[in-house]
Amino acid sequence: MSILQLDQVGYSYTGTRQRVQVLRDISYQFSPGSVYGIVGRSGAGKTTLLSLLSGLTLPTSGRVLFDGRDLAACDRYRYRSRDVGVVFQSFNLLPSLTATENIVLSMHISGKQYRDYRGHALKLLQKVGIEREKADRRVLHLSGGEQQRVAIARALSYDPAVILADEPTGNLDETTQDQVMAILTQLAHRENKCVIIVTHSPAVARQVDMLYKLAPLQ
Amino acid sequence: MYIFHNAMRNITRYKGRSILIGIITGVIAVACCIALCIRQAAVTAKEDGLADLAITAQISVDRQGMMERSQQSGEDMRQALSGAQDLSLEQLELYATAECVQRFTYTISSSLSAAGELEPFSTDSAAQQSGSGQDGDMPGGMGGRSQMGVQGDFTVSGYTDAGDISGYQQGTLALTSGQLPDFSAGDNSCLISSELATLNGLAVGDTITLKNPSADSETYALTVTGIYQNSSSDSGQMGPMFSTASDPANQIITSFATLQQICTDSASRATTSTDADTGITSTSALRSQTAGTYYFADVAHYEQFEEQARALGLPDDYTVQSSDISRFEQSLTPLENLSNFAGWFLLVVLAIGAVILVVFGIFTIRERKYEVGVLTAIGMKKSKVALQFVLEMFCVTVASFIIGTGIGAVASVPVGNALLSAQQSSTSQSIQQPGDMGGRGADKNTAAASGDMPGGAPGGFGGMVQGAADYVDQVNASLDLQVLLQLLGLGIALSIVSSAVGVVFIMRYEPLQILADR
């Protein structure tokens, strides 16, 4: 039973002179408990596909279904804040906040109630390998790898059913790459999350349960 | 709740920006507070002043109205004016029965000349024009030369009560020796000024002799029962004298009955003659004028008076005037000018302040565009993002408005008084412009009306001094609840205006576009 589904999805935009078709007739299904990989060459539309899956934009044709419901007809703010956690390629953390504050803010936005917001955030940071003393540093003072982990912790903070990660290991050394992949794999296999990773790394691609390849349109 | 909490945290996170907005809105608040306090003080001063004002009114011939009517009808203006008669005491008393009138008093005045060894007190300018008699207006003269008679050396005023004597209750006119005449009796007793007494070597108990300026043989003897000092008759305050009769030192005070008796006697002995050229009849009888003063509990009663008097038969040729109200309004002129200035200043400050804050808000939103993109990307609704930004602006604005209001409240009194003082000087200077006898153009009627009794009856005495209004020179520009609410409203309005443009920007932003641009 898939939780997320692309049904004949197409996406195009108007360029400087002509209409540019990025995706055409994509039909993928994503189920809980599995790690999915989406690979493809540059310009194949990987990030666009991630934007469609995360509800940041809508397909120009076809449908994106979450739990059987068309995202176009849903409250996509609610979807983004509760049902899907996104780890952006450039992290998209708020630089004026600390690591903990970034996570707590996401928890508040989700509208879910927690007994101890800060305690929960600290546990998540510990889970992704951020030391306690770095939890209250502004994220700008953390390294790229640490920011990546904070972004993962933020995506997990409100316990979404789907985790989307755009090049989650792109900024990390090999050891950290393995650690991050281990976290994401555990989320799928132990916590029954649906993890979708957009990557061009063969090493990452090898660790996923199912791989979708995107080819650039002619 | 987290939106509010986050907004509060952002205020401290972006300290520099918050302080800058705080300073701008604080300055606006100080300016608004001072302006509103001044405006409120002007309103309060007027309301309180009118509430405390003992309002009196007089009925006089509406010369301007008569002239306008005669112009419209083509009637000879002189003829029309010559037909104007003073109201009789009976008529004045009739209008005093109007429901709104609280109290009614009346006086009579006439002009007589010195007889025997009596010399009027005179200044040089007055002396040059003063003789045993001179053509001109009677005190409060009626125009219409045929009935003017001849101006005497003295203004003789008859009262029914000492309280009606101008300046007596205020203390500017005080008895220095002797006693007041019996105002209820016609016993030919009188009060004279200390200047006149000194000049003629008169003392209490002496007799002075006056004569009809139009008939030398018609003399009247009055016994001096008292001598008064009039502090408002200092020459420095008086300005130029055009006749000795208008000099307060030549004011002779007697009872109404005494002067009425003199006038009745003069009328019985009068001769009349008709000018062959103009056909206008003149009489040698002493010309007198009876003036009534109506007292009212408040302005509302005064405003009802004219309508009620008309209902009792007051003709259109007469008008009701209150020197108290016009003088009071004149006294408020600098404050009202300042209030108007404060109103315009308030609008300018608000407009400029709003523009600055709007521009600042736009820059702030653009600077924080990425934050908007991230917040909306992780699922925060645009409306909530906008609310957070509005709350930030609102809290900074309201806090700085409160501080600014506190500073403004402290500064409003000294600043208000300094501005009022400058305005007062400016108003005084404009009134003292050469060639402008009656004050500023717009206030000429007011200034004329404030010359004490209309028609110059007993009020002619000291009228020139009292005609100049005592301007309000202190402004009680304190912060009250009404001003506080107005400031609160302005603070809220300003924060809404300044954040409204930011809200529009936020609602237009698309998270994917912002993040992609980055």
Give tens-digit pLDDT for B335-387.
Answer: 788 788 888 988 998 899 889 988 888 888 888 889 989 999 999 999 999 99
Residues of A in contact with B375 (CB under 8 A): 94, 109
Question: What's chain A's average pLDDT?
Answer: 90
pTM metric for this prediction: 0.64
Query: Would you say the C-alpha torsion A160, A162, A163, A164 has a positive or negative sign?
Result: negative
The Cα B339–Cα B459 span in angstroms is 32
Per mean pLDDT, which range of A128-142, B67-81, B201-215 is the poorest?
A: B67-81
- Mapping DSSP to helix (H, G, I), strand (E, B) and coil, where does residue B76 land? coil
Mutate to test the interface with A, among B9, B10, B378, B385 (most CBs of A within 10 A): B378
Using the beta-carbon criterion (under 8 Å), do B378 and A90 form an inter-chain contact? no
Q: What is the pLDDT of residue B459?
A: 36
A51, A84, A160, B514, B518 from B377: Cα distances, Å: 10, 11, 15, 10, 13
Using the beta-carbon criterion (under 8 Å), do A77 and B375 form an inter-chain contact? no
What's B137's DSSP letter?
A: P
On the question of pLDDT at B440 being above 80, the answer is: no
Strand partners, A11: A23
Residues 6+ apart with CB under 8 A from B18: B11, B12, B392, B396
On the question of pLDDT at B194 being above 50, the answer is: yes
On the question of pLDDT at A81 being above 60, the answer is: yes
Q: What is the pLDDT of residue A108?
A: 93
Say how many C-beta atoms besides its own lie within 10 A of residue B46's C-beta: 17
Q: What is the pLDDT of residue B83?
A: 63
Length of chain A equals: 218
Residues 6+ apart with CB under 8 A from B458: B107, B109, B157, B159, B164, B165, B166, B291
On the question of pLDDT at A5 being above 80, the answer is: yes
Q: Which residue has the higher pLDDT, B426 or B28?
A: B28
Share above pLDDT 90 across residues of chain A, in percent, rounded to a whole number:
60
Q: What is the pLDDT of residue B124?
A: 55
- Here the tokens at position B199 are 């000049």
Please, are residues B154 and B114 in contact by the beta-carbon 8 Å criterion? Answer: yes
Q: What is the pLDDT of residue B432?
A: 54
pLDDT category of residue B437 using cuts at 50, 70 and 90? very low
Chain centroid offset of residue B476 CA: 18
- Here the tokens at position A51 are 């934007």
Residue closest to A61 by CA, chosen among A28, A29, A23: A23
Using the beta-carbon criterion (under 8 Å), do A92 and B380 form an inter-chain contact? no
> CA of A211 to nearest chain B CA: how many angstroms apart?
25
B511 touches chain A (CB under 8 A): yes
Determine phi and psi for A147, rounding to 5 degrees.
Answer: -65, -40
The Cα A28–Cα A213 span in angstroms is 11
Residue closest to B410 by CA, chosen among B34, B86, B64, B13: B34
Using the beta-carbon criterion (under 8 Å), do B377 and A56 form an inter-chain contact? yes
The Cα B279–Cα B282 span in angstroms is 10
B518 touches chain A (CB under 8 A): yes
Share above pLDDT 70 across residues of chain B, in percent, rounded to a whole number:
80
On the question of pLDDT at B451 being above 50, the answer is: no
Please, are residues A20 and A13 in contact by the beta-carbon 8 Å criterion? Answer: yes
Q: What is the pLDDT of residue B447?
A: 35
> CA of B512 to nearest chain A CA: how many angstroms apart?
6
Using the beta-carbon criterion (under 8 Å), do A81 and B379 form an inter-chain contact? yes
Per mean pLDDT, which range of A37-51, B302-316, B465-479 is the poorest?
A: B465-479
- Residues A78-90, mean pLDDT to the nearest whole number: 91
Q: What is the CATH number of domain A4-214?
A: 3.40.50.300
On the question of pLDDT at B471 being above 80, the answer is: no
